Amino acid sequence: MFNLLKTAVLMAAITALFMALGQMIGGRQGMMLALAVAVAMNFFSYWFSDKMVLKMYNARQVDAASAPQFYAMVQDLAQRAQLPMPKVYLIEEDAPNAFATGRNPDHAAVAATTGLLRALSEREVRGVMAHELAHVKHRDILISTVSATMAGAISMLANFAMLFGGRDGNGRSNPIASIAVMILAPLAASLIQMAISRAREFEADRGGAEISGEPQALAAALEKIGRIARGVPLEAAERHPETAQMMIMNPLSAGGLRGLFSTHPSTEERVAKLMAMARGG
């Protein structure tokens, strides 16, 4: 119930941003048009955003024949978590990372980069995939996927406002307002994502450690991913930064506002909590 409430709050906040942008672009008519677009986008995001995200990353679905070890690992972890078997995807990227998507546990997918499978030990990969299945079990995946899709749409609409100019209260063109909207609207969307995402990551770490039974392995995986990710960009995430909060580790360059508005807690804090869990703390 709480996750449904968070989803409703997220959709309401995103809709309000759409309406504000629409009013800046086209006054009252623009606001009503933006409301209609937001309603349509919310509906579309609920049913199709998982497919959009997987397509953004050129993810390819695998099965027991095409990726037997990886598929069997996810299958075992899903059974341990008492979850339906999700669809399993691989992403051809050197940067190690993973995410889960879908609207509920019965329509879930987990994806990992080939770089993750190469860089981590089997125990560490198990820890990562258990973390993603914890997101599925906690029903975080709809929130994550909807917020990623809608944040991207807000960024596009903000750029549209910059191109065609904002309006003041009397309907006159206001270039200062359009510049402010272009900057502040994506930041507002990022703040919404950040407010939801950080607590989710801690809970998924805890849940993943319980599913895999090895909090130390997940802690080691996070440390290794963090070290490698600093020098190996995840190209798909750089092209679609609104999806970064879906990943187990922030894949974006840490410079400027991206670092300030990171949707992930620090790796050190996450590792410390997992090691305390391993010690029974």
Please give the backbone phi and psi of residue 107, each rounded to the nearest 5 degrees, phi first. Answer: -130, 55
* 268: annotated active-site residue: no
For 100, the token pair is 């889960």
Positive or negative torsion for Cα 148, 235, 262, 204: positive
**96 contacts: CB under 8 Å, gap ≥ 6:** 113, 115, 116, 118, 119, 120, 224, 225, 228, 229, 232, 249
Give me the catalytic one of 124, 132, 201, 242.
Answer: 132
Distance of alpha carbon 263 from alpha carbon 259, whole angstroms: 9
Best CA proximity match to 67, nearest among 128, 114, 7: 114
β-pair type (87-91, 108-113): parallel
Q: Count the Cβ atoms, other than its own, within 10 Å of residue 149.
A: 25
In sequence order, which ranges of 57-104 are alpha helices (DSSP H)? 68-80
Closest CA to 222 of 196, 248, 254: 248
* Residues in contact with 248: Cβ distance below 8 Å, sequence separation at least 6, in sequence order: 97, 98, 99, 128, 131, 132, 201, 222, 225
> Token match 């968070």: residue?
6
Residues marked active site are found at: 132
